[in-house]
């Protein structure tokens, strides 16, 4: 998975996520920091040794040597830092179907504030406007079906080969 521009987000919105590799695994930030956060516990383990961060405590245990080096070593009193964990969107309950479409130019530029008509089975036609990322609001249904998304006629002008466009105006 690669992104030449923009971020990549992976979310398991209603269950656990696992990353597994037969060989090595590396997590690297070339320009900034790597953050790890957990509501209950963080555990790093290898060869029987482990570092556990749990309930405000840090446990360092090893069956062998613990080697600490540094020009200066400081052990002081308690300190803490609160970290706001990201809230995940509510996952679609079992038995529901959902769909969301995104409109972009041929060069990948999102079409913002564009009127589209969505024909939803058993609900009829509704007009929506795309958001700043070109997304149409997510549509939910309790049964599978084929909806249809259509640009509102005569509302969008995009010259051929251009990323410039004249969006529809919300009334």
Per-residue confidence (pLDDT) for residue 87, from 0 to 100? 76
To the nearest whole number, what is the mean pLDDT of the chain?
Answer: 83
Q: Is the pLDDT of residue 63 over 80?
A: yes
Positive or negative torsion for Cα 74, 75, 81, 83 = positive
For tokens 């840090």, what's the residue? 58
Which residues are CB-contacts of 56 (< 8 A; sequence separation ≥ 6)?
80
Higher pLDDT, 111 or 50: 50
Percentage of residues in the chain with pLDDT exceeding 90?
A: 23
The structure's pTM equals 0.47
Widest Cα–Cα separation across the chain: 73
Edge-to-edge strands, sheet with 148-151: 124-129, 115-120, 148-151
Question: Which of the four pLDDT bands, split at 50, 70 and 90, describes residue 148?
Answer: confident
């Amino acid at each position: 998975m690669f992104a030449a521009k923009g971020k990549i987000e992976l979310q398991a919105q209603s269950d656990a996520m696992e990353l597994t590799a037969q060989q090595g695994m590396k997590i690297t930030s070339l320009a900034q920091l790597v953050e790890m956060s957990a509501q209950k516990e963080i555990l790093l383990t290898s060869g029987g040794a482990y570092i556990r961060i749990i309930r405000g405590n840090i446990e360092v245990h090893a069956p062998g040597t613990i080697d600490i080096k540094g020009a200066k070593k400081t052990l002081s009193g308690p300190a803490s830092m609160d970290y706001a964990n990201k809230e995940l969107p509510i996952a679609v309950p079992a038995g529901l179907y959902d769909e969301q479409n995104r409109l972009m130019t041929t060069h990948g530029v999102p079409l913002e504030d564009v009127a589209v008509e969505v024909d939803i089975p058993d609900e009829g036609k509704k007009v929506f406007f795309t958001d700043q990322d070109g997304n149409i609001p997510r549509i939910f249904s309790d049964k599978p079906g084929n909806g249809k998304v259509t640009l509102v006629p005569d509302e969008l002008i995009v010259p051929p080969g251009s990323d410039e466009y004249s969006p529809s105006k919300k009334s």
